[in-house]
Amino acid sequence: MKQNRRKRQALWLRRTRSVHRWTGVALFLFFFVIGVTSVLLGWKKDSEWIMPSTSSGTELPLTEWLPTAELLTIAQTALVDSLGPEYSPAIDRIDYRPGKGSLKFLFEGHYGEVQLDGATGAVLSVGIRRADFIEHIHDGSIVNDPFKLVYSSLMGVATVVFTVSGFWLWYGPKRMRRG
């Protein structure tokens, strides 16, 4: 009876080791990319190269800020003047930072960013948001949305498989030795 149980446990360990090994081989590149991009994204707030830090402007209430349309025109002009005409001024989103007195203008089709003082319209910063590019690589959306869904689902399931199989590869032999 005990011998059969040990054989079953040994068989499960061999199968688990095989699944763990071949899943790792098949997904090595994806895990490597996720690991590298995770480290970079973890450092984004501490590295000007990855993402420009949030600049501070004049601390006035939002009611005293310039109209958004006027700030947008200033941001679009600053973008093209600083980075060149190849950077489209089509707006993607505006990130208001009332506590810092500034706004971040993010544009479509590239990773350019312009930060303005909300009250004066002064250009505080023009830069490239490499963190957004890194995030698109990290989550698979750099390819397209259906790929992102499949990629993130596959990598999530693979992480669970690695966690469970890794635990079993550690615990299984201990359990076998105990009998």
Instruction: Using DSSP, state whether 16 is helix, strand or coil.
Output: helix
Q: How do residues 46-100 score in pLDDT, each as one tens digit?
A: 999 999 999 999 999 999 999 999 999 999 999 999 999 999 999 999 999 999 9
Please report the domains of the chain, with CATH numbers, ordered by start residue: 2-43+135-178 (no CATH), 55-128 (3.10.450)
Closest CA to 117 of 47, 60, 69: 60
Residues 105-160 have pLDDT tens digits of 999 999 999 999 999 999 999 999 999 999 999 999 888 888 999 999 999 999 99
Amino acid of residue 61: P
Backbone angles phi, psi at 145, to 5 degrees: -65, -45
